[in-house]
Amino acid sequence: MRDTFDEQLSQVFGDLVSICGMVQVAVNVATQALLEGDITLAEEVISGDRAIDVAREEVEENAIGMLTLQAPVARDLRSVVAALRMVTELERMGDLSVHVAKIARMRVPNIAIPDEVAPTIRKMAEVAEDMVVRVGQIIADRDVSAAIELGRDDEIMDGLRRASFVELLSDDWSHGVEAAVDLALLGRYYERIADHAVSIAQRIVFVVTGETDKRVG
């Protein structure tokens, strides 16, 4: 019975890592679509989100089955419940990538982001994507130290978000309300992807230690 549970739990966490990979691709491709005004790439992200949804449903089904049939306790219970919460966070990260892609699609044949703010958005996207990759490794390794480090690095995203507001509210802003709204929304989307990554890292710390570490996030 114990071996079966361990195998099932390993499969669930392996599936979470796989979904991280799917989300990383979604963030990357959505950003390409945004910065290049590429409607084909935008549609790829939007349609591809269904695969993330299906993967989430499979994780939920497997995790709930473990709760129902095996009645885990202590750390095992923490792990299964955390998996259910983490997969929801991952799905939301995928949804946020779709939101980025939809802004890109909406502005085609134009590019949604003015040239002078593109470097800030590009950097926000790079940070978000890097955090997705790292959180996948944190899940795979149950690495508490890496989880704490990820939480600290979220400050980089917060700084970029503030920088985007400085650009948006500058007296030199000449791109109108539509571009301003796009920039505000995009900054929020990338920031939320990072926030979800930190939340997942927090859950890994809880799984391993049974405690919430305030240094994460």
Could you report the per-residue pLDDT of 157-179, keeping only the tens digit for each? 999 999 888 888 887 888 889 98
Q: Token digits for 40?
A: 């084909």
Query: Contact at 8 Å (CB) between 149 and 98?
Result: no
Quickly state the pLDDT bin for 5 (edges 50, 70, 90). Answer: confident
pLDDT of residue 166: 86
Q: How is residue 38 annotated by DSSP?
A: -
Q: Other CB atoms closer than 10 Å to residue 43's CB: what's the count? A: 15
pLDDT of residue 126: 96
Q: Compute, in degrees rounded to 10, the torsion defined by CA atoms 143, 148, 152, 158.
A: 80
Q: Other CB atoms closer than 10 Å to residue 7's CB: what's the count? A: 10
Q: Please give the CATH superfamily to which domain 2-209 belongs.
A: Phosphate transport system protein phou homolog 2; domain 2 (1.20.58.220)
pLDDT of residue 157: 93
Which of 19-33, 141-155, 185-199 shows the lowest per-residue confidence on average (mean pLDDT)?
141-155
Distance (Å, whole) CA 55 – CA 7: 18
Alpha helices, DSSP H, located in the chain: 2-36, 39-70, 74-107, 118-141, 144-169, 176-209
pLDDT of residue 215: 60
Q: Compute, in degrees rounded to 10, the torsion defined by CA atoms 118, 119, 122, 124.
A: -110
Q: Other CB atoms closer than 10 Å to residue 146's CB: what's the count? A: 16
Quickly state the pLDDT bin for 216 (edges 50, 70, 90). Answer: low
